[in-house]
Amino acid sequence: MADDALDLPAPEAGARGQRVLDLLDKAIALQTPLVQKNLARARQRNPEATPAEVIRNLERIYVSALTGAGAAVGGTAAAPGVGTGVALALTAGEALSSLQLSALFALSIAEVHGVRIDEVERRRTIVMGIMLGGSGSATITRVAERTGQHWGRQVVAKVPVATLRQINAVLGRNFITKYGTKQGIIVLGRVAPFGIGAVIGGGANAALAALAVRASRRAFGPPPPSWP
């Protein structure tokens, strides 16, 4: 019995993990209605842009926005006179912003590919799968028992909701571990001396953005040749 008890997660760890997933759900809920507006913004400079051009624009906007957010918060948090408590509060707020940017990016890419996601479980799978990169793709294809190249389309078209819940349970555990660990490292880095914090914050967010961009390309495959 004692050994079994040692295998159970600490209540504090479970609560922290649930907070991460709650933030993710909040980010998805807030950004889902903004997908069409995001696409319009990506196309506004060139209304005749092809889907491939719009996707490249979405990728550029996402990487730039996420990197800038990390650098700005890192520099502010590390500024002289800013206490550790304020620095940690700033990074906590930026965590939600990062999740919102990532959710908006993932759902916008799906929309360009003509993948309409009407169920919250499918949105969770798409967003977590893209944010987790290669490990997310591997989890989805393994649990869904599908080996097609572009899992983003299969998740919407072919995978039952009951299976999606199983996938999301595994993705959620991985998301808590990977995202929580990365955020912890980023938070510590941002309270470093002024300037260093900005570099760490921006660099870490740039790495997360690049991971998501690569994962989105694997999830949906080549852009459609034209708009539907």
- Greatest alpha-carbon pair distance for the chain in Å reads 66
Reading the block at residue 36, the tokens are 């069409």
Return d(Cα 130, Cα 192) in angstroms, integer: 30
Query: Does residue 137 contact residue 219 with C-beta atoms inside 8 Å?
Result: yes
To 10 degrees, what angle do helices 196-220 and 134-144 make? 30
Say if residues 138 and 144 touch (Cβ distance below 8 Å): no
* Distance in angstroms (rounded) separating the CA atoms of residues 33 and 63: 21
Alpha helices by DSSP H, the chain: 2-7, 11-31, 35-43, 51-77, 84-112, 120-131, 134-144, 151-157, 161-190, 196-220
pLDDT in tens, the chain (228 residues): 444 444 444 445 566 677 778 888 998 999 999 999 988 888 887 888 999 999 999 999 888 888 776 544 444 444 444 434 444 343 444 467 788 888 999 999 999 999 988 889 999 999 999 988 888 888 898 888 765 678 998 888 888 889 999 999 999 988 887 766 555 444 444 444 444 444 444 566 777 888 889 999 999 999 998 887
Confidence (pTM) = 0.76
Q: Which residues contact 188 (CB under 8 A, 6 or more apart)?
A: none
